[in-house]
Amino acid sequence: MPPDSDPLACPWGWDELEATVAACTACPLHRGRTQTVFGVGNWRAEWMFIGEAPGEQEDLQGEPFVGRAGQLLNEMIRAIGLKREDAYIANVLKCRPPKNRDPAPEEAAACEAYLKAQLALVRPRIIIAVGRIAAQNLLKTATPIGKLRGQVHDYEHIPLVVTYHPAYLLRSLTEKRRAWEDLKLARRIFNQQHR
């Protein structure tokens, strides 16, 4: 497992890490998966988007954020001047919870080393936590998403901004404006690093 003390030290290369995740049996979720959903995108991305867990389509296709929620995430990424392939996209969990239920704390804990290893390999300059579950797991808090938004958090010494999950935005169209505010905040923080 990668050392907890230095988030930028990773004993795995990309291929080895992906193979390790694919063979993982650390929690019971491995029994119901079609395949693991490792993550996609630019291995040297400056922007990393982290969601909660694969859904049914992600489990079938082996890629995070596909379907309507994935299309909206692509639009959100374009809104900040990037393409999906410019960013790196991953989930807290690498296996789908049954019936898309919320991840259990022990399931998130079992996958945490893999996410930290991805972070260490990518070395993003900013992280967007996509949705309540991702934000609460990354920040180790039960604080509601409404109170986590609108500020800059720290995850492994990297600025982290919280926004709503695209699946939620598809059901709550009035919240899209708030999600846009989150993306603008992230863009400001990112641009300040380049001064």
- Report domain extents, the chain: 14-193
For residues 94 and 125, what is the distance between their CA atoms, to the nearest angstrom?
A: 22
3-class DSSP string for 66-109: CHHHHHHHHHHHHHCCCCHHHCEEEECCCCCCHHHCCCCHHHHH
**Residue 141 host element (H or E):** none
pTM score: 0.93
Q: Convert the pLDDT of each residue in 11-29 to its tens digit.
A: 789 999 999 999 999 999 9
CB-based contact 56:100 (threshold 8 Å): yes
Bridge partners (DSSP) listed for residue 190:
none
For residues 32 and 17, what is the distance between their CA atoms, to the nearest angstrom?
A: 21
For residues 187 and 195, what is the distance between their CA atoms, to the nearest angstrom?
A: 13
Q: Across the chain, what does the average pLDDT equal?
A: 93
Tokens of 180: 């846009």
Q: Convert the pLDDT of each residue in 72-112 to its tens digit.
A: 999 999 999 999 999 999 999 999 999 889 999 999 999 99
The answer on pLDDT for 2 being more than 70 is no
Q: Which residues contact 115 (CB under 8 A, 6 or more apart)?
A: 50, 90, 91, 92
pLDDT for res 193: 83
Kindly report the CATH number that applies to the domain delimited by 14-193.
3.40.470.10
